[in-house]
């Protein structure tokens, strides 16, 4: 029997029990490539997965190699990858979701709401259900990666999963050039949204948040609203002469953020949300009905990865500046602490396998 090579990987053995250890290098299957992982960004979802907050779902079973916001280089081609134009040496970045490719939603391009979600033989979600990127190598389906330009470094490229989620949310808000917009929440999704809205020709980009993160959004071109000091909806109405903003992207996942979004949006406008409240939150439904306001859920990043790469490639410094810390994978516990405790004003924390 051929001896399998070993690699370093972060293995989650049980909730809150993780270690950097040696595991076999995966094999690229049909329509897959094996990638040398160069950079992985810690996602806000990772700590929830690590703490075991989605039992039986993310992951369905232990152990799991988490990590899904990654970039790297193709080193081996599985069967058929070459037929689709992939080459050894291609520089790529990846996303978490891989739909089954065959259900009605996947056929319509809405693969993040695949109807076969969570069936491990036909559906994958890297770093959540399927083996992920906190490893030296990763086998990944070619539908879950895109090429990146030569001049985009891997620490920027591994931000593209997040950025393409913001891009999808903005599309779900039905944004059009010249719209006034509110970014509700100044975390990474909010920051990415500010970059994209500015690049796509929003008129005024307001951002509600607080502290250094709001300051960062202001540096990126947003008009800041400190929700700890002023009422967000009232301030928006003041700025817009009572009209409200045409589009809101909701990234706080709090009842307060949702409520402020509902009362900041203009008649006939739309709210799109990636915010993920812990439970149900009250909404002013009469107002949404009477003013024909759309409230659109937005899940992950179907077909927006290439768009995010284009925006980022034209705003490299803005994206790069969000990466505040870089650690080797072997120091994952330290990286995890810096990220979860927001030590040293951390925003995006990258690990290098």
305 binds Zn ion, rule: CB under 5 A: no
For the CA atoms of 52, 54, 55, 57, the dihedral, rounded to the nearest 10 degrees, stands at: -130
Is the four-CA dihedral 303, 65, 70, 75 of positive or negative sign? Answer: negative
268's tokens: 């006939």
Q: Which stretch binds Zn ion (CB under 5 A): 2-10, 32-40, 105-113, 283-291?
A: 105-113
43 binds Zn ion, rule: CB under 5 A: yes
d(CA 34, CA 50): 25
Q: State the nearest-atom distance from the C-beta of 149 to Zn ion, in Å.
A: 22
158 binds Zn ion, rule: CB under 5 A: no
Instruction: Please count the residues of this chain forming the interface with Zn ion, following the rule CB under 5 A.
Output: 7
- Angstrom CA distances, 318 to 171, 175, 198, 265, stand at 21, 21, 11, 27
d(CA 153, CA 166): 20
Q: State the nearest-atom distance from the C-beta of 336 to Zn ion, in Å.
A: 15
Q: Is 282 exposed, middle or buried (0-12, 13-18, 19+ CB in 10 A)?
A: exposed
350 binds Zn ion, rule: CB under 5 A: no
99 binds Zn ion, rule: CB under 5 A: yes
Of 37, 40, 100, 170, the residue at the interface with Zn ion (CB under 5 A) is 100
Q: State the nearest-atom distance from the C-beta of 148 to Zn ion, in Å.
A: 17
Q: Nearer Cβ to Zn ion, position 270 or 351?
A: 351
Q: Which stretch binds Zn ion (CB under 5 A): 116-124, 205-213, 269-277, 310-318?
A: 116-124
Buried b (16+ CB within 10 A) or exposed e, 118-149: eeeeebbbbbbbbbbbbbbbbbbbbbbbbbbe
Q: Nearer Cβ to Zn ion, position 47 or 224?
A: 47
Among positions 307-336, residues that touch Zn ion (CB under 5 A) are none
103 binds Zn ion, rule: CB under 5 A: yes
186 binds Zn ion, rule: CB under 5 A: no
Q: Which stretch binds Zn ion (CB under 5 A): 115-123, 252-260, 315-323, 332-340?
A: 115-123
Q: Nearer Cβ to Zn ion, position 133 or 245?
A: 133
Q: Which residue's beta carbon is nearest to the bound Zn ion? A: 43
Q: What's 82's DSSP letter?
A: G
106 binds Zn ion, rule: CB under 5 A: yes
Q: Is 115 exposed, middle or buried (0-12, 13-18, 19+ CB in 10 A)?
A: middle
Q: Nearer Cβ to Zn ion, position 42 or 262?
A: 42
Q: Are the beta carbons of 209 and 191 closer than 8 angstroms?
A: no
Q: Nearer Cβ to Zn ion, position 86 or 111?
A: 111
Q: State the nearest-atom distance from the C-beta of 304 to Zn ion, in Å.
A: 14
114 binds Zn ion, rule: CB under 5 A: yes
Q: State the nearest-atom distance from the C-beta of 161 to Zn ion, in Å.
A: 5
Q: State the nearest-atom distance from the C-beta of 274 to Zn ion, in Å.
A: 10
What are the E-state strand segments in the chain? 6-14, 17-24, 32-41, 70-77, 91-94, 97-98, 124-125, 137-141, 145-147, 181-184, 205-209, 223-226, 245-250, 265-273, 294-297, 323-328, 348-352
Q: State the nearest-atom distance from the C-beta of 64 to Zn ion, in Å.
A: 15
Q: Are the beta carbons of 190 and 217 closer than 8 angstroms?
A: yes
Residues at the site binding Zn ion, with contacts judged by CB under 5 A: 43, 99-100, 103, 106, 114, 116
């Amino acid at each position: 029997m051929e001896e399998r090579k070993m690699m370093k990987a972060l293995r989650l053995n049980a909730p809150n029990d993780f270690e950097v250890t040696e595991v076999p290098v995966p094999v690229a299957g049909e329509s897959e490539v094996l990638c040398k992982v160069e950079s992985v960004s810690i996602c806000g979802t990772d700590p929830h997965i690590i703490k075991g907050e989605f039992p039986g779902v993310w992951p369905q079973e232990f152990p799991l190699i988490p990590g899904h916001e990654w970039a790297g280089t193709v080193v081996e081609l599985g069967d058929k990858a070459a037929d689709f134009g992939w080459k050894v040496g291609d520089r790529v970045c990846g996303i978490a979701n891989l739909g089954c490719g065959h259900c009605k939603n996947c056929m319509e391009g809405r693969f993040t709401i695949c109807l076969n979600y969570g069936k491990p033989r036909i559906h994958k979600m890297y770093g959540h259900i399927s083996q992920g990127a906190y490893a030296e190598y990763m086998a990944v389906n070619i539908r879950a990666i895109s090429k990146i330009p030569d001049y985009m470094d891997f620490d920027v490229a591994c931000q593209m999963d997040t950025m393409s989620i913001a891009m999808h949310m903005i599309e779900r808000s039905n944004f059009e050039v010249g719209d006034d917009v509110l970014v509700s929440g100044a975390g990474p999704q909010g920051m990415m949204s500010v970059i994209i809205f500015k690049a796509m020709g929003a008129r005024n980009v307001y951002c509600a948040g607080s502290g250094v993160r709001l300051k960062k959004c202001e540096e990126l071109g947003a008009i800041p609203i400190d929700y700890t000091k002023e009422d967000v909806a009232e301030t928006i109405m003041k700025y817009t002469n009572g009209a409200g903003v045409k589009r809101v992207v909701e990234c706080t996942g709090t009842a307060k953020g949702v409520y402020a979004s509902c009362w900041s949006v203009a008649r006939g406008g739309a709210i799109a949300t990636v915010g993920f409240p812990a439970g149900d939150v009250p909404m002013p439904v009469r107002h949404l009905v009477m003013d024909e306001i759309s409230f659109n859920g937005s899940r992950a990043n179907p077909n927006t990865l290439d768009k995010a790469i284009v925006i980022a490639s034209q705003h490299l410094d803005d994206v790069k500046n969000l990466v505040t810390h870089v650690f080797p994978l072997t120091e994952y516990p330290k990286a995890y602490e810096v990220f979860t405790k927001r030590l040293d004003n951390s925003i995006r924390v990258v690990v290098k396998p």
